[in-house]
Amino acid sequence: MRDKTPIWKAIANALRDDLVQGRYVQGDKIPTEASLADRFGVNRHTVRHALSHLIEEGLLRSRRGSGVFVTAQPTEYPIGTRVRFHENLLAAGRIPDKKVLSVEVRQPSEGEKAALKGTERVCAYHGLSRADGQPIALFESVFPLDRLPGLDLAFQEVSSVTEALKRVGVTDFTRASTHLTAIMATATHALHLHISEGSPVLRTTNLNVDPEGTPIEYGRTYFASERVTLTV
């Protein structure tokens, strides 16, 4: 069971956990690069590599001569290569909530099959994301069941995508692409998002891949644009 994850990535994850769990809050100055290097027993450059990724993700911000600080914008929803719904909203100071609408196993559509690079059965996961009880986004994700056997069962126990994937052996994944466009709300959108039919909705289409680049999730999310501002 050799550890294949790079040291810098492990450090980035550890620090991200600290942020998510509120050990540092917005505006806080995190320890200096030197002291972090000391704490983790690595070179300062390795810490810098980790920090630069967290800065990329918008979680931190550095000021030369001063230090590295926590940046968390309220009610904003950051999009990046590494997106975790739960963590983003926590960072925004809101209480996240997810309602599972349905989990089903079915054949993929043509588009889904193409996006996932071929699979005969997919696990389709529909749900509603809320912040402080207010509906924010409607999402539907499909996962290639051929490559992720048992995922449908995992969803019966946990509602977190990250957690369910972990149970079938996917410990890490990144967003390969995100597409954005605006559409008019259908009746379904209107119903769940509590908006009126025809009002604008932000649709994001995204493909998540594992570290080897194999597609593991093809998802579409519909944001109630009157309640959300996406931050790039």
Provide, rounded to whole angstroms, the least separation between the CB of residue 13 and a second copy: 19
- Token output for 194: 């509590």
**Residue of 159, 160, 162, 199 that binds a second copy (CB under 8 A):** 199
Rule CB under 8 A: is residue 163 a binding residue for a second copy?
no
Rounded Cα distance between 37 and 48, Å, is 9
134-137-140-143 Cα dihedral, nearest 10 degrees: -90
Rounded Cα distance between 68 and 88, Å, is 19
Rule CB under 7 A: is residue 1 a binding residue for DNA?
no
State which residue, 131 or 202, has the beta carbon closest to a second copy.
202
Contacted entry of a second copy, DNA, none for residue 20, CB cut-off 5 to 8 Å set by kind: none
**Residue of 80, 113, 140, 162 that binds a second copy (CB under 8 A):** 80
Rule CB under 8 A: is residue 209 a binding residue for a second copy?
no
- Token output for 81: 């290569």
Rounded Cα distance between 69 and 99, Å, is 33
The crossing angle, in degrees rounded to 10, of helices 7-20 and 33-40 is 110
Which residues sit at the interface with DNA, rule CB under 7 A? 6-9, 32-34, 41-46, 48-49, 51, 62-68
Which residues sit at the interface with a second copy, rule CB under 8 A? 56, 76, 79-80, 177-184, 198-202, 225, 228-232
